[in-house]
Amino acid sequence: MRRTRSTSLGDIDLRFTSQTDRRHHATTTTPPIRPAAFHNRRLPLVAGLIGASLASAAGPAAASENGQIEYPIGVNTVLSAVRPPPGETRYYNYLQGYQAGETDNAAGKSTVPNFDLRAVVNAARTMHTWGWTEHGFSFTSVVVVPFVEERVIAGPRNKQIFGIGDVNVQQYINWNDSKRTLYLSAGLTSWFPTGRYRSTRLANTGLNRYTLAPELDATWIPSPHWEATATTVFEQNFTNPATHYLSGHDITTDFSLMYAASKFQRLHFGLDGYVYKQIDDDRQNGRALAATDRAQVAALGPQARLDFGRAGVVFKIQHEFAAQLRPQGNRFWVQFTVPLSPQTQSTPPHTPPPET
């Protein structure tokens, strides 16, 4: 039995969270949007905007059940370790579009005739950093609510569906140096099975399982002109009670390198991307499935961010390649962030707005 893997569309996680691929039928989920950052915040696009929570939408032929994961790969490429300052609440929105015209096998070859996957995910992420702070440390809580619209065509079958995705909650411990050039953040995201799901349906907006994902974020801003960001997420899945299927664990790393010209420092542009890899076998009814059925994919593309004081907007494209046991396509993101509370402290002129 061949399996196909899918990946989340997802700091808008801009969860986003967070959606695309797996076995004989596809299921779509919206993972939480993880934080992605603007000046002093991270803006998860659907987790990552998709850092809160975006999910995968996929088609036949994948590793992981129906090729889907909760984390919205590609979301955390914008100042992902930069959180709101203590006492501030901030809103992040991640809008992601995903289109794939093929789903590849272990050899990277398209195997499903007449395959077409199109998904649009919008993840709403609310982030609050608590008032306590000490020696550069702070604590941040996040809630991500994704909505997913997906259409899948696989051979003679097709399905279109819309609904809420799997809601996720994130908790982070943050640190920055006194010059605010280095930001680090460690957290845990919990996904809950709130999305629409039916095991016999070609497309779903949820994965019908709980998922935990430890996360490590780092952002370096050595000057007003340069910034680099990386986020690594280790996704640990629980069994789907409807199918008795336990998807293997996986690791995703999102990254970006951005530059701002001297004459217009509000505009940053550069390169972003991600690498995704399943690291152990799936299991069903307690039995391990073929070790060769492990999904992977990588992506690269342009990214631009425009800051407006305490707000910001991000545009990015991610072109996938080297896909195995999952769909291969393109992701398009629009992420933005705005404060929901008054400014609590000043920040250096070159410090970007909290993640976008």
All domains of the chain in start order, with CATH: 6-339 (2.40.128.130)
Lowest mean pLDDT of 119-123, 242-246, 322-326, 337-341, name the range: 322-326
CB contact at 8 A, 254 and 76 = yes
pLDDT digits (tens, 9 = 90+) for 56-74: 333 334 456 766 799 999 9
- Give me the pLDDT at residue 46, please: 26
Q: Is the pLDDT of residue 98 over 50?
A: yes
pLDDT digits (tens, 9 = 90+) for 131-186: 989 999 999 999 999 999 999 888 888 889 999 999 999 999 999 999 999 999 99
Higher pLDDT, 57 or 119: 119
The CA radius of gyration of the chain, in Å to the nearest whole number, is 19
As a whole number, the mean pLDDT across the chain is 80
pLDDT band at 83 (very low <50, low <70, confident <90, very high): very high
- Give me the pLDDT at residue 250, please: 94
Q: Which residues contact 246 (CB under 8 A, 6 or more apart)?
A: 237, 238, 239, 240, 282, 283, 284
Measure the CA–CA gap between 29 and 119, rounded to whole angstroms. 10
- Give me the pLDDT at residue 157, please: 86
3-class secondary structure, 67:
helix
Q: Is the pLDDT of residue 11 over 80?
A: no
- Give me the pLDDT at residue 353, please: 58
Measure the CA–CA gap between 171 and 159, rounded to whole angstroms. 35
pLDDT band at 121 (very low <50, low <70, confident <90, very high): very high
